[in-house]
Structure 1
Amino acid sequence: MTVNVPRIKLGSQGLEVSKQGLGCMGMSFMYGPPKPEPDMIKLIHHAIKSGVTFLDTSDVYGPHTNEILIGKALKDGLREKVQIATKFGFVQKDGKMEIRGDPEHVRAACEASLKRLDVGYIDLYYAHRIDTRVPIEVTMGELKKLVEEGKIKYVGLSEASASTIRRAHAIHPLTAVQNEWSLWSRDLEDEIVPTCRELGIGIVPYSPLGRGFLSAGPELIQNLSEGDARKNFPRFKAENLENNKLIYERVTAMATRKGCSPSQLALAWVHHQGDDVCPIPGTTKIENFEQNVGALSVKLTPEEMNELEQYADAVKGDRHSSMGTTWMNSETPPLSSWKAKY
């Protein structure tokens, strides 16, 4: 079945994207060994041809190799057909990962991403995580300069609290906020979603399929390859798995009743959150991409939405292996502290 992928305005600053994006991280990073480059380029081309033109990457994916991959995939005139989102902020220092949002790093990271992607501008540039040592106004001030110079078109934040979003937006309008959002990751709904809607900021849910668990259930855990970071995620640990597999079983039961797959049902739930929402499910297989696009044609009643949410309320374990860098810990110092320092 061919699914028409609608276009939406993401945020209120003018960016138009496909209603569903493509998360590219797993092609190069995090979920086991990097996948063969020709296969991934073929997948990206298939996505663009299918109408999914919003491609999400980051300089930390690889690191760097995912941006290079996307750059290669967009040769031969495809650049103008897509909207590229990439991110900055994570850097390796003394064998550990740290977050940087100081102006020097913001600019250097942007210049490096432009080279790797081999493009003249980045459509949407996110702070991947918030540097809690630097006032968000300082980070945004440099991003604003990059917009004025034409190096980036729109600005976003990932895993930022409501107050951090407000402070950032006051310096330069935010187009999108990226956050984990799925049937079993709903911690953004009380404050972040209403704040974004009040300010006209789009919402980009990452891991809308629970890092694959809502697609494959416990079988996913059994088949993870060596080096797959999901082995360290709390919800996939044995002490939580027995409970969490019940959620997958209930989602599967409803999907069977509706004649769709569990992943399509879970993704449809995210789409039904509103027209200002653009999930970016990741995949490395064309057949899974087709499944995901199929979610756009799955309709849910309010009663079905409520039923699904009741299942998800029972999830056990933190959603991330590093909760310390999520929106819950993203407050930055006041701008006055930076001015006093410099």
Structure 2
Amino acid sequence: FFSAIGLMGRGYKRGFDSEVQRDGTHEYVASGRQARKKAKKAKLQKLHAVSEECDNITSPRGLPKSMPPPMNCMDVPTWLDEHRTECIFDYDTTRWPFQDLMQQVLGMGQVDLSTLHKLQLPQDAPICPTLLYAYKINGRALPKSWEPLLLRNNTSKKCLAAFRKSLPFQRFLEVFYAFVREVIVPLCGDPSGVWYQCPPTLRIQMPADKPTGKFHKDADYDRHVPTEINFWIPVTKVWGANTLHIETLPNKGDFHPLEMDYGQMARFNGNQCHHYCVANSTDSTRVSFDLRVIPKSLYRGDHDGHIGDYKTKFAGPGA
């Protein structure tokens, strides 16, 4: 549902390699052999590519023959940039209680989410793959029985499927769908609605000596189009080293941390503006989720209707 809401890292212990794969709602570590095979495949594809560069994190699936070629930057209307300029918005946490819902999703009870890294490990592996991966990046000594869940195999896929079907996650999605319709759509400049990433990406960044991602813009990855708008919603207070760092305009280089409280969200042009995380040197865990949307008037169903690795859903009049 959330990607590991996109966690990436390098330098794992024996049995794990440095590549991180993304699948559905979370990210997890690939084995050394899988990583080397995938890197070789990605290199060959890059040599023969006729479209955009591909990143070694995910190998490109290509554009279906029935779909039109992706838009280029010349096709982006000026009104779109006006509606994806960096801006922070407030929302009503009583109407949209994402913090409470996230506590249920993570199965942690009524705890302060910013203290997740201080809590004792649960007896059983977390049902949420994102939380499991966050423990790994945090440097916690995990039970050996948990490690297979971090690999790309049938066991981890079954756990992901079970997580998506869990009642707390389904409750979260119900509120999320309404939030997109009532809050996100009016901020996108198209009264006819938007197509949006579903499920959103869940991210948990615990204190660690390594960043959980790398410097990038979304256009660097496969199956993204330049008409996307990014929304980033933290459910804990974010600042300094535990938040997202972005530039205000493409290639401007004026990087700065997004500083927000619970009840605020950021809108920005993540497709063209570079962004990244640094090692979380604070004593506070960050929990957030994010999504990408495409205004309906600009949506063409590229990449078999996907935004990145995610399926899309429509929100707007009549939906």
TM range (shorter): under 0.3
Please, what TM-score do these two structures have when normalized by structure 2? 0.25
Bigger helix share: 1
